[in-house]
Amino acid sequence: MLTRLTRSRALVCGMVALAGVALAASLAGPASGQEQKPVPVPPTPPHPSTQEPAHRTTFEQVEAMERELSNWGRWGKEDERGTLNLITAEKTLQAARLAKDGVVVSLARFASLEKTIDDFNFGETKHEMWYGVAGPPKPGVTRSALDTISYGIHDGTNSHLDALCHYTLLRDGKVVVYNGHASATQKGCGANGIDRMGPGFATRAILVDMPLLKNVEWLDPHTPIYPADLEAWEKFANVKIGSGDAVLIRTGRWAMRAAKGPWLHAREAAGLHVSVMPWLKKRDIALLGSDSVNDVQPSGVVGGSGEAANRPIHLLSIAIMGTPLVDNGYFEDAAKEAAARKSWEFFMTVQHTRLEGGTASNFNALGIF
C-alpha cells in the first residue's frame, strides 16, 4: 500500500494524543482517596452528510487520487517548491494592482502562551526575558532588553505554513516526500525543507468566507465543505479561483473560540472534505490555507487508517500535489476589510522563516487592500 508506514505512525501518534487528553481529564477531576483512572475519549462521529452517496469517499478512492492528482516531475525531478512555481513574476505584478487603499492586515496568529486544550501539542510555548546589566542605570553603561522564545511550530494556535517535507509516502519500499525525494531525518529535511522553497512570495489571495456565505457566525465543528460550497462562494463573491492563487478558507474557528472558549480542535474541526481535491487541482492553486486544520475532522473517509483516512487534504496537498498548506491562519481582520469592500480578493505577501531543514515556517503573511 502506498501509505502503510505513515498510516502506522499517524495511528500511534493519535493514540498517544488521545491517551494524553484522557489522562489530563482524569487529573483535572475532584480529588479522592482512590486513584483516578484515565477516562476513555470516545471517537467523534463524522458529519452525516459525508456518508451520503453524493459525498461518500472510500479509502481506496483517496489512494486513487494519490496517482491522479500528482504533480511529481511537473517542474522537473529536482523541484522542491511545488505549486509555488505557479506564482510567476507576472502573477505577482497582477496581484499587486489589487491594493487600492493601502490597508494592511495580518493573516497570522502566534503560538499562545496560555496552555489550553487546543495548544501545546508539540512542546510548551515559553518566553524568557534578559535585561543585561543588573541594578540601576549607570552612566556610560548600555542597558538592553533581550528575550528568547520556544514553541512547537505545528501547535494548534500557531499559524504556520507547512513545508513539502512535512508529509511522507511509502513508494517502492522507501519513505519519500513530494517529488520522490528522501524524507526527513533527525537532522532535518534534506529535501523539500522550508529553506528550499524560496524566500517567500506575493500573490493574489482569495478569502472564502464560509460563515458569511451560510449566514452564521461560525461553522459548527466537523462541518464539511464540498466543491459545491466553493462554487457557491465564487458566485456570491463574484470571483473565480485560478492558477497561482492562494485560497484561504475561513470557518470562523477564532470567532467561535473567542465566544465559547477552546476545544479539542484537532478532533473536531470544520474544514474541506477530500472531494474538493480534484476541483482544486483543476484550478491550479498555489497555496491552500485555513483558520482550522484544512481537513474536516473527522474526515468522513470510509475505511483505512493513517493520513489517507484521517488527514487526506494534508496528504494529497503536500505529498502529492506539492501544494503548501497553512494551518491555523487568522482571517478575522481580513474578513472585515473584505466584507466592507464587498471584495474578497487582495494582495498577499508571505516571508518564509528559512530554518535549515525545517518542516514549516511561521505564516508571516500580510493582506493588503
Residue 171 lies in a domain: yes
Residues 69 and 281: their CA atoms lie apart, in Å, by: 7
pLDDT at 139: 75
What is the structure's pLDDT at 133?
63
**What number is the average pLDDT over the span 335-361?**
97
In this prediction, residue 112 carries a pLDDT of 87
pLDDT above 50 for 76: yes
Give the percent of the chain with pLDDT over 90: 78
Of 236 and 139, the structure prediction assigns the larger pLDDT to 236
Query: Which residue type is seen at 211?
Result: P
The Cα 329–Cα 311 span in angstroms is 18
Q: Is residue 129 part of a domain?
A: no
Q: What is the DSSP string of 261-328?
A: ----TTTSB-EE-GGGHHHHHHHT-SEEEESS-SB-BS---BS--SHHHH-HHHIIIIIII---EEES
- Amino acid occupying residue 12: V
Identify the pLDDT of residue 41: 62
The per-residue pLDDT for 120 is 72
Is 131 domain-assigned? no
Residue 331 pLDDT grade (very low, low, confident, very high; cuts 50, 70, 90): very high
Residues with Cβ within 8 Å of 357's Cβ and at least 6 positions away in sequence, in order, are 184, 187, 188, 189, 190, 193, 195
Q: Tell me if 128 is assigned to some domain.
A: no
Residue 115 lies inside a defined structural domain of this protein: yes
Beta-carbon contacts of 84 under 8 Å, excluding residues fewer than 6 positions away, are 197, 198, 201, 286, 287, 324
Per-position DSSP letters for 50-106, written without gaps between them? GGSTTT--BHHHHHHHHHHT--TTTT-TT--SGGGGG--HHHHHHHHTT--S--EEE
Residue 21 confidence (pLDDT): 34
Which residues have C-beta within 8 Å of that of residue 152, sequence separation ≥ 6? 111, 120, 121, 122, 123, 125, 158
Average pLDDT over residues 145-157: 91
**Has residue 135 been placed in a domain?**
no
**Is 226 a member of any domain?**
yes
Q: How many domains does the chain have?
A: 1
Pairing of strands 126-130, 146-150: antiparallel
Region 102-108: what's the mean pLDDT? 98
Task: Check pLDDT > 90 for residue 39.
Answer: no
Task: Please write the tens of the pLDDT for every residue from 255-294.
Answer: 999 999 999 999 999 999 999 999 999 999 999 999 999 9
CATH of the domain at 206: 3.50.30.50
Domain containing residue 162: 4-120+151-368
| 127 belongs to a structural domain | no
For residue range 213-255, what is the model confidence (pLDDT) as tens digits? 999 999 999 999 999 999 999 999 999 999 999 999 999 999 9
* Chain centroid, CA 199 distance in Å: 19
Is residue 162 within 8 Å of residue 360, measured between CB atoms? Answer: yes
Q: Which pLDDT belongs to residue 164?
A: 98
**How much of the chain exceeds pLDDT 70, in percent?**
88
Q: What is the pTM of this model?
A: 0.87
Q: Is 170 helix (H, G, I), strand (E, B) or coil?
A: strand
Specify the pLDDT at position 217: 98
19-23, 92-96, 110-114, 314-318, range with the lowest pLDDT: 19-23
Residues 117/263, Cβ–Cβ less than 8 Å? yes
Instruction: Please state, in angstroms and rounded to a whole number, the distance separating the CA atoms of residues 160 and 325.
Output: 8
